[in-house]
Amino acid sequence: MADLSSSSTTTTVVELQYEAYVPMAVKCIKSICLSARSTWKLDSIAVVHRLGPVPVGETSVFIAVSSVHRVDALDACKYVIDEIKASVPIWKKEVYSNGEVWKENSEFMERKMEFGKGVQSKSGGCCGGKVRVMV
């Protein structure tokens, strides 16, 4: 279990719960993957994001990138996870031993502020079970 400090109290997270608008999430993730493929020399990309309850310590996002060159694969993988966190409509609730809270996605909020200033993302700003995408 993860312990999160909040002010002077410690709250124990027992699980995370993810929800998504799946059709839009799939569309956004495909757009991100296509952007990565056009930026780096990649063979394929696979992304799986779990939905529903996920116990603390378990994997919630799986990204596989294949490329002849490891630097391309690693750079693309970092780009994909950063873009997913910043622009895909997937929401996370932290469930504690004594309650629950929907968490604000700080990466998404930062991106939203950038859009207000006219900054565009590489993936085109696509934003508005499991989500699986293979490109």
| pLDDT tens digits along 81-113 | 999 999 999 999 999 988 888 887 665 556 555
Question: Residue 32: its pLDDT value, please?
Answer: 97
The answer, yes or no, to whether residue 118 has pLDDT greater than 90, is no
The answer, yes or no, to whether residue 3 has pLDDT greater than 80, is no
Domain-embedded: residue 3: no
Question: Residue 125: its pLDDT value, please?
Answer: 39
Question: Residue 134: its pLDDT value, please?
Answer: 67
Domain-embedded: residue 28: yes
Query: In the chain, how many domains are there?
Result: 1
Reading the block at residue 89, the tokens are 């409509």
DSSP 80-105: HHHHHHHHS-EEEEEEETTEEEEEP-
Domain-embedded: residue 29: yes
Question: Residue 120: its pLDDT value, please?
Answer: 44
User: Structural domain of residue 73, as residue ranges?
Assistant: 13-115+126-133
Q: Distance between CA atoms of 44 and 64, rounded to whole angstroms?
A: 8
Domain-embedded: residue 57: yes
Any idea what the CATH number is for the domain that residue 52 is in?
3.90.1170.40
Instruction: Tell me 58's DSSP state.
Output: S
Question: Residue 119: its pLDDT value, please?
Answer: 44
Give the residue-averaged pLDDT of 109-121: 53
Three-state DSSP at 116 gives helix
pLDDT in tens, 33-71: 999 999 999 999 999 999 999 998 899 999 999 999 999
Domain-embedded: residue 93: yes
Domain-embedded: residue 97: yes
Domain-embedded: residue 41: yes
Domain-embedded: residue 55: yes
pTM of the model: 0.72
